[in-house]
Amino acid sequence: MGFDMQNGSRSNTELHSNAASQTLLLRLMRRASDDLQSFTMRFLRAIEGKVGFGILRDNTHRDAATIARLRAELEAQARLIREQETSLAHSRKIFRRASEAARIGVWECTLADESLVWTDGVYDIFEIPRGAPLDRQQTLLCYPEESRRQLVAIRSKAIEERSGFTLDTEIVTMKGNRRWMRITATIECENGVAVRIFGMKQDITEEKILADRTRYLAEFDVMTGLANRASFQARLSEIDHADAEDRKPIGALLLVDLDGFKQINDTYGHAFGDACLTEVATRLAAICPEAELVARIGGDEFAVLVGPETDERAHERLAGDIVEALSRPIENRNGLHQLGASVGIAHKDACSAEQLFTRADTALYAAKAAGRNTFRVFDPDKMHG
């Protein structure tokens, strides 16, 4: 991406990698220098105003005391500066270690020329050699298009409003690794004009992976990869929260229960039983690509929510396809094994989420009572649900 990996003197490296922490040191040293200059001027004024040749001759003891006092003050000030330097060095070491542990770096961008200053932590996040020359337009290429669009928008707004922002965004490092990064930024103004933007960048890749994993476990069945019961119930409950004048979000509910699964599971063990469930999930997902949701809601129970755009005939055709697909044998090392499926259908009309589920369950039991490996549609005139 155009970074100079070979050139750049040691002084250039130190300027970039230590700029943020050295700023504080320079300010402290400047203040100490001002204090020292103030004491020096006081000393000279004392010499000029009070310690003239004639006065020195007549007031030796008093002048000697004045000089001693001023010298003591200067020594005390020098000692304070040394202590502050020691404390600052210690603070810099602690900050550096904490930054490395938290994978945090400090950055700064001068708005007039878009020049960048990074600490080592930011270089490490982007996997760019520490101290390499920086070009903001080139670093922006590390952001995928959507991430770059979000960054440009939120950054422009912060500059316009003279505020700040926080953004979690994805990057692709110089070595081609995908990472997630949290950017915090503050705008610095002079006379009401934004002149500089600075803040921190933190590698949150592990945090993002953990959050995604936690969310996946909360919403999906680990074995089959289908939505789990919690996701199904959340989606089904939307029926009760939909505006009556709006188009209904659910057209029908199909409940699917495997026939013969318990016998296979007991005979060939849980490992083959799990393989059967995974195969069933794969077949269901393939048959129902347009479904609102396909979920595993129990041991060998599944649910399919279809949208309002399909009619009752389409629901019945889908149920027939499910029965046919799940009746095809499943193979293992012991040969082919036959499963089956019963399906209960409940069309969405003026009913609650709980009523819809009860009706589909009633139809499912009717299918099992009819000999299994078939489907039934809830009929309010013949069934109670």
HSE-up of residue 169 (Cα within 13 Å, Cβ side): 26
Q: In what order do the strands lie in the sheet with 104-110?
A: 115-118, 104-110, 193-203, 178-190, 164-172
With tokens 């965004």, the residue in question is 169
Q: What is the mean pLDDT of the chain?
A: 83
- The pLDDT assigned to 64 comes to 76
Q: For 200-217, how does the pLDDT look when each residue is reduced to its tens digit (9 = 90+)?
A: 999 999 999 999 999 999
Does 220-377 match 10-207 at the fold level?
A: no
Q: Which band of pLDDT confidence, cut at 50, 70 and 90, is reported for residue 45?
A: low
- The pLDDT assigned to 244 comes to 47
More confident residue, 337 or 173: 173
Q: For 176-204, how does the pLDDT look when each residue is reduced to its tens digit (9 = 90+)?
A: 999 999 999 999 999 989 999 999 999 99
Any idea where the domains of the chain sit in the sequence? 10-207, 220-377
Burial zone of 139 (CB within 10 Å; 0-12 exposed, 13-18 middle, 19+ buried): buried
Crossing angle of helices 229-241 and 353-369, rounded to 10°? 120
Q: Which of 16-25, 160-169, 360-369 has the lowest mean pLDDT?
A: 16-25
3-state secondary structure 173-229: CCCCCEEEEEEEEEEEEECCEEEEEEEEEEECHHHHHHHHHHHHHHHECCCCCCECH
What percent of the chain is modeled with pLDDT above 70? 78
Cβ pair 59, 47 in contact under 8 A: no
3-state secondary structure 267-324: HHCHHHHHHHHHHHHHHHHHHCCCCCEEEECCCCEEEEEECCCCCHHHHHHHHHHHHH
Q: Computed over its alpha carbons, how large is the radius of gyration of the chain?
A: 37
Q: What is the CATH number of domain 10-207?
A: 3.30.450.20
175: pLDDT strictly greater than 50: yes
Q: Which band of pLDDT confidence, cut at 50, 70 and 90, is reported for residue 38?
A: low
Nearest residue to 302 via CA among 312, 311, 291, 310: 291
Q: What is the CATH number of domain 220-377?
A: 3.30.70.270
* Cα torsion through 285, 286, 290, 292, rounded to 10: 0
- The pLDDT assigned to 88 comes to 75
Q: φ and ψ at 347, to 5 degrees?
A: -80, 145
**Which three-class secondary structure state does DSSP give residue 172?**
strand
Q: Which band of pLDDT confidence, cut at 50, 70 and 90, is reported for residue 360?
A: very high
334: pLDDT strictly greater than 80: no
Nearest residue to 344 via CA among 253, 245, 227, 229: 253
Q: For 91-120, how does the pLDDT look when each residue is reduced to its tens digit (9 = 90+)?
A: 666 666 655 655 788 999 999 999 999 999
The rounded distance, in Å, linking the Cα atoms of 2 and 349 is: 63
Q: For 259-274, how does the pLDDT look when each residue is reduced to its tens digit (9 = 90+)?
A: 999 998 898 889 999 9
- Residue type for position 320: G
DSSP state of 332: E
Burial zone of 130 (CB within 10 Å; 0-12 exposed, 13-18 middle, 19+ buried): middle
Nearest residue to 281 via CA among 294, 297, 268: 294
Cβ pair 256, 343 in contact under 8 A: yes
Q: What sign does the dihedral 364-370-372-376 (CA atoms) show?
A: negative
pTM score, whole prediction: 0.61
Mean pLDDT score, 224-252: 81
What percent of the chain is modeled with pLDDT above 90? 58
Q: For 68-93, how does the pLDDT look when each residue is reduced to its tens digit (9 = 90+)?
A: 888 888 888 888 888 888 877 766 66
- DSSP letters for 70-132: HHHHHHHHHHHHHHHHHHHHHHHHHHHHHHHHHTEEEEEEETTTTEEEE-HHHHHHHT--TT-
